[in-house]
């Protein structure tokens, strides 16, 4: 309460780190590849492709490729960038001799509130609450050396993997009612599926009950056994990468080539192996829910690093300047674009809109993804040509600083 007031003016475009903005834009577009399955199908279909929908022919390959290239990879990048952002923003404030504590926790509080509104009013799959809760903790580690941040981050990241491995190995000793409860969430019966579809094809009020229940499950139970550990660990890794200059494009082209090559080689090897094993096991709950998920859990962090290496190389290459600038504009409005994806997709799939929930095959999801990508790649630079921030970024910033921020460009 007694800390000096943090004042700020909007960061000039020339002061922004274009490589970070471009990477954030790449991530916000990529995350839709997996989220669209959550928008359009029953919850179980996200983790178990055999739970709902056609999984033959081209639909099978759409799921396989989406899983390999997207599942958890873009969330990994987002979490790392969030951690890097904490170091970047608090460092600027503390560089002026002012404590960043009040600023950080106020900013984080408002992000959690925005996330809660997103989760309970629109879509249960919100990630903002998870990031906000993790940000309350990882802030305390921000001044550690990059090596310590990396080691602690990977240890925390590994803890969720250890928990899942223990769950999978101990399942034969579980009480039957616990196994049955897991099976209902892994491969729900026709009655549960029908109830889920009816709820999402209903109006907004009809969706509220199932949405609130699932949001609470993700923010409490899933946070404690997986997403909280994973996100905290990745934020610390992101802090270390920022301090090493990896996320800012400051390393050599040779470094990024090796980062991309190693990331793709190890990441794809793990993920493809895991995908094969899960199909060979028939996507049984006993194997695939916990043990079979470990290949992608670890493979995702390697493949995300491969993507980071590629985007850093593209950002450094002058011939791709227009692409980099477009991705950077999309990344500068990442919060707005993330929330817009929810608004667009829930309108397409839920009952208050066109009610296509459960009606489209996976191959048709590609049309939705492509349309949203084009819209956001076009509108982001156009919007930032007239305004300093995206609408959601402006609101978040104004709430954080407790006064309306400049919005229009002069």
Q: Report the pLDDT averaged over residues 84-112.
A: 94
Confidence at 410, pLDDT banded by 50, 70, 90 = confident
Q: Report the pLDDT averaged over residues 63-83.
A: 98
Predicted model pTM? 0.94
What is the chain's mean pLDDT, rounded?
A: 94
pLDDT at 320: 87
Q: Is it the case that residue 4 has pLDDT exceeding 50? A: no
pLDDT at 81: 98
d(CA 303, CA 234): 14
Q: Report the pLDDT averaged over residues 158-178.
A: 96
Q: Kindly state the tokens that stand for 379.
A: 């509108």
Confidence at 6, pLDDT banded by 50, 70, 90 = low
pLDDT at 127: 97
pLDDT at 207: 94
Name the packing angle between helices 190-201 and 204-217 (round to 10°).
Answer: 120
Confidence at 1, pLDDT banded by 50, 70, 90 = very low
pLDDT at 2: 44
Q: Is it the case that residue 317 has pLDDT exceeding 90? A: no
pLDDT at 295: 98
CA 331 from chain center: how many Å? 13
Q: Report the pLDDT averaged over residues 21-35.
A: 97
Confidence at 11, pLDDT banded by 50, 70, 90 = low
Instruction: Give the tens place of pLDDT for each residue, 232-264.
Output: 999 999 999 999 999 999 999 999 999 999 999
Number of other residues whose CB lies within 10 A of the CB of residue 161 = 18
Instruction: Give the tens place of pLDDT for each residue, 326-340.
Output: 999 999 999 999 999
d(CA 179, CA 182): 5
């Amino acid at each position: 309460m007694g800390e000096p007031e943090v004042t700020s003016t909007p960061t000039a475009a020339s002061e922004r780190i274009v490589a970070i903005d471009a990477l954030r834009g790449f991530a916000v577009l990529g995350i839709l590849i997996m989220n669209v399955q959550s928008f359009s199908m029953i919850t179980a279909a996200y983790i178990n492709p055999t739970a709902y929908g056609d999984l033959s022919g081209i639909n099978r390959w759409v799921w396989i490729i989406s899983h390999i290239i997207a599942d958890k990879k873009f969330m990994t990048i987002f979490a790392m960038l969030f951690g890097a952002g904490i170091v970047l923003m608090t460092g600027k404030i503390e560089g002026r001799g002012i404590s960043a504590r009040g600023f950080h926790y106020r900013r984080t509080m408002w992000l959690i509130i925005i996330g809660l509104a997103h989760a309970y009013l629109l879509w249960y799959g919100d990630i903002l609450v998870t990031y906000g809760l993790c940000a309350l903790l990882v802030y305390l580690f921000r001044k550690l050396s990059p090596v310590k941040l990396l080691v602690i981050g990977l240890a925390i990241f590994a803890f969720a993997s250890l928990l899942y491995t223990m769950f999978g190995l101990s399942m034969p000793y579980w009480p039957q009612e616990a196994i049955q409860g897991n099976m209902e969430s892994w491969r729900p019966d026709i009655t549960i599926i029908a109830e889920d579809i009816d709820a999402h094809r209903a109006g907004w009020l009809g969706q509220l009950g199932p949405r609130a229940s699932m949001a609470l499950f993700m923010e409490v139970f899933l946070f404690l056994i997986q997403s909280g550990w994973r996100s905290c660990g990745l934020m610390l890794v992101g802090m270390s990468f920022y301090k090493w200059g990896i996320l800012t494009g400051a390393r050599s082209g040779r470094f990024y080539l090796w980062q991309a090559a190693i990331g793709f080689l190890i990441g794809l090897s793990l993920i493809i192996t895991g995908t094969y094993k899960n199909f060979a096991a028939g996507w049984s709950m006993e194997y695939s829910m916990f043990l079979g998920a470990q290949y992608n859990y670890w493979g995702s962090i390697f493949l995300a690093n491969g993507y980071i290496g590629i985007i850093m190389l593209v950002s450094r290459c002058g011939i791709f300047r227009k692409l980099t600038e477009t991705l950077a504009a999309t990344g500068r409005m990442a919060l707005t674009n993330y929330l817009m994806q929810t608004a667009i997709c829930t309108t397409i799939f839920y009952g208050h809109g066109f009610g296509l929930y459960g009606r489209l095959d996976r191959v048709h999801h590609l049309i939705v993804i492509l349309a949203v990508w084009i819209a956001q790649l076009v509108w982001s630079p156009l919007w930032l040509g007239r305004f300093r921030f995206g609408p959601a970024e402006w609101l978040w910033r104004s709430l954080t600083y407790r006064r309306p921020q400049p919005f229009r460009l002069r």
